[in-house]
Structure 1
Amino acid sequence: MTTEHEIQKEIQLALSAHKCTVFRANVGKVFTNDGRWFDTGLPRGHFDLYGFRWVDNQVFYVEVKNEHGRPRDDQIRFHEFLKSHNIIHGIARSPQDALMIVDGGLCGYGFDT
Protein backbone atom coordinates (compact mmCIF):
# COMPACT_ATOMS: atom_id res chain seq x y z
CA MET A 1 0.00 0.00 0.00
CA THR A 2 1.24 3.48 -0.89
CA THR A 3 1.76 5.72 2.13
CA GLU A 4 0.04 9.08 2.51
CA HIS A 5 3.46 10.73 2.53
CA GLU A 6 4.32 9.20 -0.86
CA ILE A 7 0.94 10.23 -2.30
CA GLN A 8 1.42 13.73 -0.89
CA LYS A 9 4.77 14.12 -2.67
CA GLU A 10 3.26 12.91 -5.96
CA ILE A 11 0.38 15.38 -5.58
CA GLN A 12 2.75 18.27 -4.86
CA LEU A 13 4.71 17.49 -8.02
CA ALA A 14 1.57 17.10 -10.15
CA LEU A 15 -0.01 20.35 -8.96
CA SER A 16 3.27 22.27 -9.32
CA ALA A 17 3.64 21.02 -12.89
CA HIS A 18 0.02 22.04 -13.52
CA LYS A 19 0.60 25.76 -12.92
CA CYS A 20 -0.27 25.82 -9.24
CA THR A 21 1.69 26.95 -6.23
CA VAL A 22 1.32 24.38 -3.46
CA PHE A 23 2.48 24.36 0.15
CA ARG A 24 2.75 21.49 2.59
CA ALA A 25 1.27 22.24 6.00
CA ASN A 26 3.17 20.86 8.95
CA VAL A 27 0.53 20.54 11.64
CA GLY A 28 0.95 19.43 15.20
CA LYS A 29 3.04 19.77 18.31
CA VAL A 30 6.55 18.54 18.98
CA PHE A 31 8.68 18.48 22.09
CA THR A 32 11.93 20.37 21.47
CA ASN A 33 15.37 19.36 22.73
CA ASP A 34 15.36 22.24 25.18
CA GLY A 35 12.16 20.97 26.85
CA ARG A 36 9.53 23.20 25.23
CA TRP A 37 6.43 22.32 23.23
CA PHE A 38 6.34 23.80 19.74
CA ASP A 39 2.93 24.20 18.07
CA THR A 40 2.73 25.02 14.35
CA GLY A 41 -0.06 27.47 15.00
CA LEU A 42 -2.32 26.15 12.26
CA PRO A 43 -5.90 25.30 13.25
CA ARG A 44 -6.77 21.72 14.20
CA GLY A 45 -7.80 19.74 11.16
CA HIS A 46 -5.92 21.95 8.70
CA PHE A 47 -5.42 20.00 5.48
CA ASP A 48 -2.07 18.60 4.32
CA LEU A 49 -1.69 20.82 1.25
CA TYR A 50 -2.92 24.24 0.21
CA GLY A 51 -2.11 26.69 -2.52
CA PHE A 52 -3.49 28.61 -5.48
CA ARG A 53 -4.06 28.22 -9.20
CA TRP A 54 -1.98 30.56 -11.35
CA VAL A 55 -4.76 31.00 -13.92
CA ASP A 56 -7.08 32.84 -11.51
CA ASN A 57 -5.30 32.88 -8.12
CA GLN A 58 -8.10 30.76 -6.67
CA VAL A 59 -7.12 29.18 -3.32
CA PHE A 60 -7.45 25.42 -2.74
CA TYR A 61 -6.92 22.90 0.07
CA VAL A 62 -6.21 19.17 -0.32
CA GLU A 63 -6.36 16.54 2.41
CA VAL A 64 -4.27 13.51 1.42
CA LYS A 65 -5.45 10.03 2.34
CA ASN A 66 -4.38 6.57 1.23
CA GLU A 67 -6.96 4.10 -0.05
CA HIS A 68 -8.19 3.27 3.47
CA GLY A 69 -7.75 6.66 5.16
CA ARG A 70 -10.75 8.46 6.61
CA PRO A 71 -11.01 12.09 7.75
CA ARG A 72 -10.79 12.81 11.47
CA ASP A 73 -13.49 14.82 13.23
CA ASP A 74 -11.32 17.97 13.25
CA GLN A 75 -10.74 17.59 9.49
CA ILE A 76 -14.48 17.26 8.95
CA ARG A 77 -14.99 20.47 10.92
CA PHE A 78 -12.35 22.22 8.76
CA HIS A 79 -14.14 20.86 5.66
CA GLU A 80 -17.43 22.32 6.93
CA PHE A 81 -15.74 25.70 7.44
CA LEU A 82 -14.25 25.65 3.91
CA LYS A 83 -17.59 24.49 2.48
CA SER A 84 -19.42 27.39 4.17
CA HIS A 85 -17.14 29.78 2.26
CA ASN A 86 -17.27 27.82 -1.02
CA ILE A 87 -13.49 27.23 -0.98
CA ILE A 88 -12.04 24.62 -3.36
CA HIS A 89 -11.09 21.58 -1.28
CA GLY A 90 -11.34 17.83 -1.00
CA ILE A 91 -9.77 14.52 -0.16
CA ALA A 92 -7.24 13.24 -2.69
CA ARG A 93 -6.04 9.66 -2.78
CA SER A 94 -3.98 10.22 -5.94
CA PRO A 95 -2.53 13.02 -8.06
CA GLN A 96 -5.48 12.53 -10.42
CA ASP A 97 -7.92 13.24 -7.57
CA ALA A 98 -6.02 16.40 -6.63
CA LEU A 99 -6.01 17.67 -10.22
CA MET A 100 -9.73 16.95 -10.51
CA ILE A 101 -10.43 18.88 -7.28
CA VAL A 102 -8.32 21.87 -8.26
CA ASP A 103 -9.19 22.04 -11.99
CA GLY A 104 -12.86 21.39 -11.36
CA GLY A 105 -13.11 23.90 -8.54
CA LEU A 106 -14.73 21.19 -6.43
CA CYS A 107 -15.93 21.99 -2.93
CA GLY A 108 -15.79 19.02 -0.55
CA TYR A 109 -14.87 16.17 -2.90
CA GLY A 110 -14.47 12.91 -0.95
CA PHE A 111 -16.21 14.04 2.22
CA ASP A 112 -19.72 13.05 1.27
CA THR A 113 -18.82 9.69 -0.28
Structure 2
Amino acid sequence: MLSEHSIQSAIMVAVSKHQCTIFRSNVGKVKTADGRWFDTGLPKGHPDLYCFKWSNGKICYIEVKNEKGRLRQDQIRFHKMLTKHHIIHCCARSVDDAIKTIDEELVGYGYPDWRA
Protein backbone atom coordinates (compact mmCIF):
# COMPACT_ATOMS: atom_id res chain seq x y z
CA MET A 1 0.00 0.00 0.00
CA LEU A 2 1.36 3.41 -0.96
CA SER A 3 1.77 6.07 1.72
CA GLU A 4 -0.25 9.27 1.53
CA HIS A 5 3.03 11.15 1.22
CA SER A 6 4.09 9.19 -1.88
CA ILE A 7 0.65 9.63 -3.46
CA GLN A 8 0.77 13.36 -2.68
CA SER A 9 4.22 13.70 -4.26
CA ALA A 10 3.12 11.84 -7.39
CA ILE A 11 0.02 14.04 -7.67
CA MET A 12 2.11 17.21 -7.35
CA VAL A 13 4.44 16.10 -10.16
CA ALA A 14 1.61 15.00 -12.47
CA VAL A 15 -0.55 18.07 -11.89
CA SER A 16 2.39 20.43 -12.44
CA LYS A 17 2.92 18.74 -15.85
CA HIS A 18 -0.80 19.14 -16.60
CA GLN A 19 -0.88 22.89 -17.29
CA CYS A 20 -1.52 23.73 -13.63
CA THR A 21 0.37 25.35 -10.78
CA ILE A 22 0.09 23.33 -7.57
CA PHE A 23 0.89 24.09 -3.93
CA ARG A 24 1.15 21.95 -0.80
CA SER A 25 -0.82 23.21 2.18
CA ASN A 26 1.40 22.98 5.23
CA VAL A 27 -1.09 22.74 8.05
CA GLY A 28 -0.79 22.22 11.75
CA LYS A 29 1.14 23.54 14.69
CA VAL A 30 4.84 23.28 15.46
CA LYS A 31 6.87 24.33 18.46
CA THR A 32 9.54 26.92 17.68
CA ALA A 33 13.07 26.78 19.08
CA ASP A 34 12.13 29.31 21.76
CA GLY A 35 9.18 27.19 22.94
CA ARG A 36 6.31 29.12 21.31
CA TRP A 37 3.66 27.41 19.17
CA PHE A 38 3.34 28.42 15.51
CA ASP A 39 0.05 27.75 13.69
CA THR A 40 -0.02 27.86 9.89
CA GLY A 41 -3.26 29.81 10.00
CA LEU A 42 -5.14 27.58 7.57
CA PRO A 43 -8.54 26.38 8.84
CA LYS A 44 -8.96 22.88 10.23
CA GLY A 45 -9.80 20.41 7.48
CA HIS A 46 -8.09 22.42 4.71
CA PRO A 47 -7.10 20.00 1.90
CA ASP A 48 -3.49 18.90 1.43
CA LEU A 49 -3.03 20.47 -2.01
CA TYR A 50 -4.52 23.22 -4.13
CA CYS A 51 -3.88 24.26 -7.70
CA PHE A 52 -5.10 26.49 -10.47
CA LYS A 53 -5.59 25.68 -14.13
CA TRP A 54 -3.62 27.83 -16.55
CA SER A 55 -6.41 27.63 -19.15
CA ASN A 56 -9.11 29.33 -17.11
CA GLY A 57 -7.69 30.16 -13.67
CA LYS A 58 -10.08 27.83 -11.85
CA ILE A 59 -8.96 26.62 -8.44
CA CYS A 60 -9.03 22.98 -7.33
CA TYR A 61 -8.48 21.58 -3.84
CA ILE A 62 -7.15 18.04 -3.36
CA GLU A 63 -7.35 16.03 -0.14
CA VAL A 64 -4.97 13.06 -0.41
CA LYS A 65 -5.71 9.68 1.16
CA ASN A 66 -4.25 6.25 0.59
CA GLU A 67 -6.53 3.27 -0.06
CA LYS A 68 -7.30 2.85 3.66
CA GLY A 69 -7.21 6.53 4.63
CA ARG A 70 -10.28 7.94 6.34
CA LEU A 71 -11.58 11.47 6.29
CA ARG A 72 -11.75 13.36 9.60
CA GLN A 73 -14.88 15.29 10.54
CA ASP A 74 -13.13 18.64 9.98
CA GLN A 75 -12.17 17.50 6.46
CA ILE A 76 -15.79 16.52 5.76
CA ARG A 77 -16.97 19.93 7.00
CA PHE A 78 -14.48 21.67 4.69
CA HIS A 79 -15.69 19.49 1.79
CA LYS A 80 -19.31 20.47 2.50
CA MET A 81 -18.37 24.16 2.48
CA LEU A 82 -16.54 23.78 -0.86
CA THR A 83 -19.51 21.84 -2.28
CA LYS A 84 -21.94 24.55 -1.18
CA HIS A 85 -19.92 27.09 -3.18
CA HIS A 86 -19.44 24.77 -6.19
CA ILE A 87 -15.64 24.75 -5.80
CA ILE A 88 -13.72 22.06 -7.69
CA HIS A 89 -12.26 19.59 -5.19
CA CYS A 90 -11.69 15.91 -4.55
CA CYS A 91 -10.50 13.26 -2.17
CA ALA A 92 -7.79 11.71 -4.34
CA ARG A 93 -6.42 8.25 -3.70
CA SER A 94 -4.38 8.33 -6.92
CA VAL A 95 -2.94 10.62 -9.58
CA ASP A 96 -5.84 9.59 -11.83
CA ASP A 97 -8.39 10.86 -9.29
CA ALA A 98 -6.70 14.26 -9.16
CA ILE A 99 -6.34 14.62 -12.94
CA LYS A 100 -9.95 13.51 -13.53
CA THR A 101 -11.20 16.10 -11.03
CA ILE A 102 -9.18 18.88 -12.64
CA ASP A 103 -10.04 17.94 -16.24
CA GLU A 104 -13.74 17.44 -15.61
CA GLU A 105 -13.95 20.24 -13.00
CA LEU A 106 -15.70 17.94 -10.55
CA VAL A 107 -17.08 19.11 -7.22
CA GLY A 108 -16.55 16.63 -4.38
CA TYR A 109 -15.22 13.68 -6.37
CA GLY A 110 -14.11 10.83 -4.12
CA TYR A 111 -16.00 11.94 -1.01
CA PRO A 112 -18.58 9.57 0.52
CA ASP A 113 -21.52 11.71 -0.62
CA TRP A 114 -20.20 12.13 -4.19
CA ARG A 115 -23.24 12.33 -6.47
CA ALA A 116 -25.54 11.48 -3.58
**Fold-level similarity (TM above 0.5):** yes
Q: Which amino acid aligns with 1:9?
A: S
The percent identity for this pair of structures is: 59
1:76 correspondence with 2:76: yes
| Unpaired stretches in structure 2, ≥5 consecutive residues | none
RMSD: 0.8
Residue 63 of structure 1: how far off its partner (Å): 0.2
Match of 2:35 in 1: 35
Match of 1:87 in 2: 87
Query: Secondary structure at the residue paired with 1:22?
Result: strand
| Unpaired stretches in structure 1, ≥5 consecutive residues | none
Q: Which amino acid aligns with 1:108?
A: G
Residue 110 of structure 1: how far off its partner (Å): 1.2
Matches of 1:91 and 1:101 in 2, distance apart? 9
Match of 2:14 in 1: 14
Provide the TM-score with structure 1 as the length reference.
0.97
Provide the TM-score with structure 2 as the length reference.
0.95
Which portions of structure 1, spanning 4 or more consecutive aligned residues, are displaced by more than 2 angstroms? Answer: none
Residue 37 of structure 1: how far off its partner (Å): 0.1
Query: Secondary structure at the residue paired with 2:47?
Result: coil
Matches of 2:57 and 2:98 in 1, distance apart? 17
Residue 10 of structure 1: how far off its partner (Å): 0.2
Match of 1:57 in 2: 57
Residue 4 of structure 1: how far off its partner (Å): 0.3
Q: Which amino acid aligns with 2:10?
A: E
Instruction: For residues 22-65 of structure 1, give each alpha carbon's deviation from its aligned partner in whole angstroms, at most 9, with x where no partner exists.
Output: 00000000111110000000000000000100110001000000
